[in-house]
A and B are shown apart, each in its own frame.
Chain A
Amino acid sequence: MAEGFDIDHLAKLARLSLTAEEKALYSSQLNQILGHFEALAQADLPALSDDARVVDEAALRSDEPGPVLGSAAVTRLAPASRDGQISVPRVVDDES
């Protein structure tokens, strides 16, 4: 089942930067783990049910504004902030 396993592509999708050693290690371990998953491919399984809930009851609340943390608390958590806003690396250039 694990044909086409591409560690570089996976790392890119997962937004992870891996060293050569990490790539070799994770490739080997993931292949071993995926080999163990082979039982899933062989099993006789029921069709997927629409009802994936594990309990029959579930609570839905009314969609109304509730208490919020506020910008001071939020910016205190942020790695970098300025003037009550979260700072991030420049996303767009000054000139288009």
Chain B
Amino acid sequence: MGEVLHTLSAGELGRRLAAGTLTSRALCEALITRFKALNETVGAFTHLDQADVLAQADASDARRKAGQGRGPLEGIPVAIKDNIAVKGQPLTCSSKMLAPLVSPYDSHVAERLRAAGAILYGRLNMDEFAMGSSTENSAIRKTFNPWDLARIPGGSSGGSAAALAAGLVPLSLGSDTGGSIRQPASHCGVVGLKPTYGLISRFGLVAFASSLDQIGPMARSIEDCELLLNALASADARDMTCFGPADRALAPSGDAKKLRIGIPKGFLGKGVAPEVAAAVNAAVAFYRAQGCAISEVELPSSDLAVPTYYVVATAEASSNLGRYDGVRYGHRSASAGTPVEMMTASRSEGFGPEVKRRILLGTFVLSAGYADAYYVRALRARAKIRGEYLAALAGVDMLLTPTVPTPAFKVGEKASDPLQLYLEDIFTIPANLAGLPALSVPCGKSGHLPVGFHLVGAPLSEAKLLAAGRLFEAAHGFAHQQAAL
């Protein structure tokens, strides 16, 4: 039985745990065996405290035996991106800057998972401080795409997606500032949801760009993604942008076959690989055949999305990362000197190249004489993009595009060209700028590489997006897919 546990969905594992045919300890032992066999190859995890996992599993089994099970996630491992705080576990953001840090507290989502009985299972690799689209910017290790180990898994939540595709864990948490959940989900053939801004508390998420960051669930099926979302979403006074309770977002959504789906004009044009366009067009044809109303919508300011995002995100990052000064926590340079020299040396030694690049860019767009030309204009463009999306979503239930223009590229292929890498996020960025929920659903392959489509809905329309994803998933063979390793 141990050989097949890693192929099962969280939903199925939960049913077996509830029926008493499986224990959390047996499940965790099977996953630890798989971790030992595969993590060096895939590189999804940066840390796994096996003794702690088994202690959590034993506690879960004891609760269940005593009739005190905490719900559908009881005893199920959830792996966590290394920018989300879990008390007693490393919190490195895959950066040398935070290499020595062990979190002294739980994030809100970690509290929610503990309250649901889930096993907090290991730390997942990421681009340093979530800045990147390939996980090549990790200062700790490389992560490889389980479908082709010569290729990137996407990023920045590359570890979260690769762990699922490799069958190392049934559920994972990512964070998404410009596509960092959805882009790796698409590249690894799994489901990833960026919730409405404010649906899930950011308390305990290391800040990159606070007006854009959201934590979200990742899984191998829509059912599992929804299971995790339900556990995470709740009000939290420690994040003033978290509005919970989220009943409206999670309420049953009605008949998915009556959904109205908008296709943004021109989005399948230049820059989209033919195989990606074909898979997405097939998904559109599927929804039309199911009875959904398909129409074309106009989003005329879409070309502004990437520059707007990289002004807003780097501006916020340059401010948020000002806190890393080598004084209170994280790396401190051994070179002596004045406090300012110590801070400068600590930051220069602790941050990697992409983080430095973004801090410099963000510092520039906020600097005297340039803030009006860049930052303020980006805020105005953001409002315009948001207005266009909300206007389009007044006439349809959701928008459908590719998640990423091309399949996963080879490791190192775009490492020297940051602008090319920024353009990976062209379809995912607008949902962050507008605070909208967005879901990546596996929809086919380009050769052996997974392809996903992307649904964006109005605020708090998560249930509709998941219903649309479920309709597609039920008719196709992409749920629960794993790479052969």
Contact = CB atoms under 8 A, between A and B. Distances in A.
Given A10-B364, A48-B379, A54-B211, A17 B243 contact: no
A76 B384 contact: no
Contact of B328 (A37, A40, A77): A77
Interface residues of A, number: 52
Nearest to B307: A37
Contacts of B101: 77
Interface string A64-91: 0000010001101111100000101101
Contacts of B339: 88-89, 91
B243 A57 contact: yes
Contacts of B244: 59
Contacts of B310: 33, 36-37
A79 B198 contact: no
A78 B359 contact: no
Interface residues of B, number: 78
Interface of A is mostly: loop
B386 A59 contact: no
Contact of B360 (A26, A46, A88): A26
Contact of B196 (A11, A14, A55, A69): A55
Contact of B325 (A15, A17, A45): A15
Interface in B325-339: 325-332, 336-339
A54 B325 CA distance: 31
A33 B104 contact: no
A31 B35 CA distance: 43
Contact of A80 (B332, B376, B380, B384): B332
Nearest to A4: B369
B198 A55 contact: yes
A59 B330 CA distance: 31
A48 B376 contact: yes
A96 interface: no
B304 interface: yes
Interface stretch (B44-52, B115-123, B279-287, B344-352): B344-352
Interface string A46-57: 111100111101
Contact of B307 (A5, A40, A88): A40
Contact of A30 (B211, B306, B347, B360): B360
A13 interface: yes
A74 to B, nearest CB: 7
B367 A13 contact: yes
Contact of A40 (B239, B308, B367): B308
Interface string B367-379: 1011001101111
Interface string A15-27: 1111000100010
B116 to A, nearest CB: 22
Nearest to B343: A15
Contacts of A52: 211, 379, 383
B381 interface: yes
Contacts of B261: none
Given A39-B304, A45-B377, A55-B241, A78 B328 contact: yes
Please list the 8 inter-chain residue pairs (A to B) with the smallest Cβ-Cβ separation, ordered nearest first.
A54-B435, A79-B332, A61-B237, A57-B243, A45-B380, A77-B329, A17-B348, A37-B307
Given A10-B367, A40-B304, A69-B105, 18 more contacts: A10-B360, A13-B363, A16-B344, A17-B344, A18-B356, A22-B356, A26-B356, A26-B357, A26-B360, A29-B418, A37-B310, A37-B374, A38-B307, A40-B381, A43-B304, A45-B380, A45-B381, A89-B339
Interface of B: 100-101, 104-105, 196-198, 211, 235-244, 301, 303-304, 306-308, 310-311, 318, 322, 325-332, 336-345, 347-348, 351, 353, 356-357, 359-361, 363-364, 367, 369-370, 373-374, 376-381, 383-384, 386-387, 418-419, 422, 434-435, 459
19 contacts: A10-B367, A16-B344, A16-B356, A22-B353, A37-B310, A40-B374, A43-B301, A43-B384, A45-B384, A46-B380, A46-B383, A57-B198, A58-B198, A58-B241, A58-B243, A59-B242, A76-B104, A79-B100, A88-B327
